[in-house]
Structure 1
Amino acid sequence: MRICLLTPAPDHPLLAATTALLKPRHQVEWLDPGATDSFPDPDGLADVYLLKTRTPRALALARFLEQHGAPVLNSAASTGLCQDRTLMAQVALRAGLPFVATRTEPSLRRFEAAGELAGPVVVKSRTSRRHDLVARVDDATRLRELAERWADEPVVIQPFTPNSGWDHKLWVVGDQVFAGLRRSELAAGGTDKRTRPLAPDALPAGWPALALRVGEVFALDVYGVDLLDAGGGTPVIVDINAFPGIRGQAGAPEALAALALRTAAGSRPPRVAVGP
């Protein structure tokens, strides 16, 4: 089989470990969508593509590959959907998922000027990307500080969910669920990015099934779900990510390698989003 990684960083730990598992019997190559102005020859496409980047150029390439019959994990449509936090919330809530209530504002400056801040909220960039805005706002002073820096940023506003200060990170590869605990970046001392591995059976009842349901709703094959415990094991989904890093999770590279081969062989067609 020919497996192609769509990424600027094929040495990412998850991808490198997956490549090492595949290479003895399969051809693994990589392509940085941002480093080329042309698309591959439609007559020489790989058997499956793993989309580990979310730039506009990468999504355009993924759409091209899909249009010419190549399977892409995850699809361009599903990956794009997870970048728009407004559409993400709409799709999740319409499907009955316990997603945090989400309000959209065309700019942070406009929300600040309206003076409608009530209680602690979480302000996020509408478009999910590296180094985007994610901040807890407790008062008008903090909101004013953020508005000075992010004045024209389209944002979503979500009520702050009281919690233990730890994010439950659930990752899914195919039908396998992995889990970990990470200090919330919104909590005091939240600069620690290390993840504590957590056995799925140590999660509250129903959480692994909820993570799998997210994949069905968003047509994702490799993804992450960020959950908060709102009390008594009641989950609140605060974010969904297409093809996250999944670092330090024993068995994740094996699961990804197996998923890639099943998809390349046609025994598991990639899920395709039908739109918001």
Structure 2
Amino acid sequence: MSSPELSIAVLASRVRAEEKRIMAALERRAVPFSYVDARELSVMLGGGPMAHQVFLNREIGQFRAGYAATALEARGAKVVNSAASTTLCGDKWLTSVALQRRGLPTPRTALAMTPDAALTALEEIGYPAVIKPLVGSWGRLVTPVDNPRIAATVLEHIAALPSPQSHIIYVQEMIPKLDRDIRVIVVGDEALGAIYRRSSEWRTNVARGGVSEFFALSEEDAELAVAAADAVGADISGVDLVVDSEGMTSVLEVNHRVEFAGFQEAQGDRVDVADRIVRHLLSKAAA
């Protein structure tokens, strides 16, 4: 870890390709920084100012990321993304509520307080639909259901899970789409660009083997992505858009700890995501 007088820190428990790119960009700009392992972080409530003015929160675990951001902000540090944004983006229902309040197009969505109530919600939404965990990434435990029989089977398994949070069911209509969706990376109030994510299965997450391809982002979709990021208060985000068979675009998710290695490979020299993130951090530090 670098000396304590430095003002920028990268918080993460796992240094992936994205964190390496960001730290390399900091070094290229000769910006002093520290790497802070989130697993070793402890914050005393009521203490003086932190050694770092700005923390880039890249912690992969949702609960650790949220509590770390809250603790650091309580000590006066600026955290990117903020604790409030981390909480919103980390919960699919809270994200949907924020997008709906902003009037942005999203798939029809419902929240059921029990697995039994979810069957009623699914009947109202209609099949095919998707059952998603409230918290999760990389498409894990996201399950498409084509009819009530399959839905009842999935929900029976969910009812047997030990966590009470698992029994709160998030259901969403399945948007008829092509074999791809759109990922837009937003930093500050700018959409840096977009990629198609293609897959042979219905989930297009790169972590699940999806392939990234360059996509020329339209002004309309760029504005939609920036509005989605702003709706959840995210400084840095990956906004997932989907276009249905009639050409209508909806916002699926806003990811606050966005992975961008595949995006960068597809973009080539058009944009340097890590450098744009560093520029944003420097503007936060200057402010």
TM-score by length of 2: 0.80
Q: Alpha-carbon deviation of 1:113?
A: 8.1
Number of aligned residue pairs: give it.
Answer: 263
The verdict on how the C-alpha distance between 1:163 and 1:204 changes in structure 2, with shifts beyond 3 A counting, is farther
- Separation of aligned partners in 2, 1:185 and 1:157: 23
Q: Alpha-carbon deviation of 1:215?
A: 2.1
Map of 1:48 onto structure 2: 54
- What whole-Å deviation, never above 9, does each CA across 1:142-188 have from its counterpart, x for those lacking one? 22332243225222111111110211111112224231111358628
The verdict on how the C-alpha distance between 1:14 and 1:190 changes in structure 2, with shifts beyond 3 A counting, is closer
Q: Does 1:84 align with 2:98?
A: no
Gaps of at least 5 residues in structure 2 are 1-5
Contact (CA 8 Å) 2:112, 2:121: kept in 1 or not? no
Give the 5 Å matches for 1:22-37: 22-23=26-27, 25-37=30-42
Identity of aligned pairs, percent?
25
Q: Secondary structure at the match of 2:227?
A: helix
Alignment equivalent of 2:76, drawn from 46, 69, 73: 69
Alignment equivalent of 2:214, drawn from 182, 198, 202: 198
Q: Secondary structure at the match of 2:13?
A: coil
**One-letter amino acid of the structure 2 residue matched with residue 32 of structure 1:** D
**One-letter amino acid of the structure 1 residue matched with residue 13 of structure 2:** P
**One-letter amino acid of the structure 1 residue matched with residue 55 of structure 2:** Y
- Separation of aligned partners in 1, 2:274 and 2:121: 48
- Separation of aligned partners in 1, 2:200 and 2:222: 23
Map of 2:3 onto structure 1: none
- Separation of aligned partners in 2, 1:44 and 1:219: 23
The verdict on how the C-alpha distance between 1:204 and 1:184 changes in structure 2, with shifts beyond 3 A counting, is farther
Give the 5 Å matches for 1:87-236: 87-112=94-119, 116=123, 118-129=126-137, 132-151=140-159, 153=166, 154-174=168-188, 175-183=190-198, 187=202, 193-199=209-215, 202-236=216-250
TM-score by length of 1: 0.83
Q: Alpha-carbon deviation of 1:134?
A: 0.9
Stretch moving more, 11-20 or 40-49 = 40-49
- Separation of aligned partners in 2, 1:97 and 1:27: 39
Q: Alpha-carbon deviation of 1:207?
A: 0.2
- Separation of aligned partners in 1, 2:211 and 2:170: 26
Q: Secondary structure at the match of 2:100?
A: helix
Q: Alpha-carbon deviation of 1:29?
A: 1.6
Contact (CA 8 Å) 1:204, 1:233: kept in 2 or not? no
- Separation of aligned partners in 2, 1:51 and 1:37: 15
The verdict on how the C-alpha distance between 1:259 and 1:120 changes in structure 2, with shifts beyond 3 A counting, is same
Gaps of at least 5 residues in structure 1 are 267-276
- Separation of aligned partners in 2, 1:157 and 1:114: 8
Q: Alpha-carbon deviation of 1:265?
A: 1.4
**One-letter amino acid of the structure 2 residue matched with residue 195 of structure 1:** V
Q: Alpha-carbon deviation of 1:17?
A: 1.1
- Separation of aligned partners in 2, 1:37 and 1:66: 13
Between Structure 1 and Structure 2, the one with more helix by share is 2
Contact (CA 8 Å) 2:110, 2:121: kept in 1 or not? no
Q: Does 1:238 align with 2:252?
A: yes
Which gives a bigger RCO, structure 1 or 2 (Cα 8 Å, sep 6+)?
1
- Separation of aligned partners in 2, 1:103 and 1:87: 11
Q: Alpha-carbon deviation of 1:221?
A: 0.7
**One-letter amino acid of the structure 1 residue matched with residue 80 of structure 2:** L
Map of 2:277 onto structure 1: 256
Q: Secondary structure at the match of 2:84?
A: helix
**One-letter amino acid of the structure 2 residue matched with residue 264 of structure 1:** A
